[in-house]
């Protein structure tokens, strides 16, 4: 999904009225980040970095998570995601973290010993609600430029599968 189509989908979704609480509500947008266990720089390794990027891309597609942008850093992941009444943010993040951890450790079982037997991610996550367009643009810029601001090379493009 391109950013343009995701924004169009978001505009359509927010034009609808949410009746769960008897008042109009916009679909919440969040800047989320979650860290590797003990903030270990696992994704400095190019092979691990490419693998986790593929896994994140795949879980977002297969689970149909509306994610406008995401980036993998050596010790954490940034995402701009939407949640819904029937798909709240904790479930979205639990799904992304759970599926990626399971699949990553299935590909690289040798890392289990360094990750307390198989905990790729630290418990929990950080989330900030995005409530204005200006805040969205600033967050989008932050996520997109985070690697270059940290003097990291841009990731290699993922090939379609």
| One pLDDT digit (tens) per residue for the chain, 161 residues | 444 444 444 433 333 333 333 334 555 899 999 999 999 999 999 999 999 999 999 999 999 999 999 999 999 999 999 999 999 999 999 999 999 999 999 999 999 888 877 899 999 999 999 999 999 999 999 998 988 888 887 776 766 65
| Residue 12 domain-assigned (yes or no) | no
| Residue 24 domain-assigned (yes or no) | no
Residue 53 tokens, joined? 């990027």
State the pLDDT at residue 120.
Answer: 95
| Residue 13 domain-assigned (yes or no) | no
State the pLDDT at residue 87.
Answer: 92
**What letter does residue 161 receive in the DSSP assignment?**
-
Give the Cα separation of 36 and 140 in Å (integer): 22
| Residue 109 domain-assigned (yes or no) | yes
Domain that holds residue 104: 31-149
Give the Cα separation of 21 and 26 in Å (integer): 12
| Residue 19 domain-assigned (yes or no) | no
Number of compact structural domains in the chain: 1
**What letter does residue 63 receive in the DSSP assignment?**
T
State the pLDDT at residue 50.
Answer: 94
Q: What is the largest CA-CA distance in the chain?
A: 52
| Residue 45 domain-assigned (yes or no) | yes
Contact indicator for 95, 55 with CB cutoff of 8 Å: no
Encode 128-142: b = buried (16+ Cβ within 10 Å), e = exposed: eebeeeeebeebbee
| Residue 97 domain-assigned (yes or no) | yes
Q: Domain with 97 in it: what CATH number?
A: 3.30.70.1290
Strands 76-82 and 29-35: antiparallel
| Residue 14 domain-assigned (yes or no) | no
């Amino acid at each position: 999904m391109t950013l343009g189509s995701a924004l169009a989908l978001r505009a359509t979704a927010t034009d609808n009225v949410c009746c769960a609480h008897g008042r109009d509500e916009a679909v919440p947008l969040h800047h989320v980040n979650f860290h590797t266990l003990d903030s270990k720089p696992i994704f400095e390794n190019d092979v691990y970095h490419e693998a986790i990027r593929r896994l994140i891309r795949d879980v977002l597609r297969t689970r149909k998570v509306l994610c406008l942008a995401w980036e993998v850093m050596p010790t954490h992941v940034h995402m701009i995601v939407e949640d819904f009444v029937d798909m709240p943010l904790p479930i979205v993040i639990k799904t992304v973290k759970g599926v990626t951890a399971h699949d990553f450790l299935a590909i690289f079982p040798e890392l289990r010993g360094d990750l307390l037997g198989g905990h790729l991610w630290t418990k929990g996550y950080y989330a900030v609600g995005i409530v204005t367009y200006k805040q969205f643009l600033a967050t989008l810029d932050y996520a997109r430029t985070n690697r270059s601001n940290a003097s990291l090379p841009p990731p290699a493009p993922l090939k379609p599968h």
